[in-house]
Amino acid sequence: MAYKTVKKRASDSIIIEKSEFIAQVAPVSTSEEAAAFIESVRAEHRRAWHNCYAYTLREGGETRFSDDGEPQGTAGAPILDAIQKSGLKDVAVVVTRYFGGILLGKGGLTRAYSSAASGGLKAAGVREMRNVRDVELRFAYTFYERILRLLPESGARTNSQDFGEEVTLSLTLPEESCEAFTAAVTELSGGKAEIKTGETYEGEV
């Protein structure tokens, strides 16, 4: 099952009415990883007024959020809403607030935490994960152009090419297209291409 998550750990910040909102984002796959990330941000910003967070996991559809002392519903829920609207899974977001002396009201806080979270998610980028397999091909130069034409329709990513006595092509393919692709290579090469297929794992193409 394909799903989207963030590419990397990232941060972004905004200042609203002299209060600074710092969003930090990280990919996580378990509640333990999420908790460790949240605690690391709290340790980094111990002097901040609030470290509000939300995270969502694929496993069990788990979601959690916290207002961390802000008025109920003004911080954690807007952060979670930003995650869910982005369609991302396995991600945690912590928004740290350094109070600037001006009260924002519930509506202002909700918008601020939502905007900060959205900015952090944008900075982290998006990648689509799915079940994939690595495939290594070794074949005569005669088949090179025809095999290359198979790559776009199979969704393959080229990892490396080596041009020695024969061509060695290292690819990553979505699991669902791997069998048809290798069958097509076998057919067009008359069975002369050497094909090595790896085990299925979770990755991106």
Q: What is the pLDDT of residues 66-96, one digit of tens each?
A: 999 999 999 999 999 999 999 999 999 999 9
- 26 DSSP β-pair partners: 92
The pLDDT of residue 204 is 82
Q: In whole angstroms, what is the distance from residue 139 CA to residue 131 CA? A: 26
Q: pTM score, two decimals?
A: 0.78
Low-confidence ranges of the chain (pLDDT < 50): none
* Domains observed in the chain: 3-124 (3.30.230.30), 130-203 (3.30.70.240)
Q: Is 22 exposed, middle or buried (0-12, 13-18, 19+ CB in 10 A)?
A: buried
Radius of gyration from C-alpha coordinates of the chain? 23
Predicted confidence at residue 133, as pLDDT, reads 96
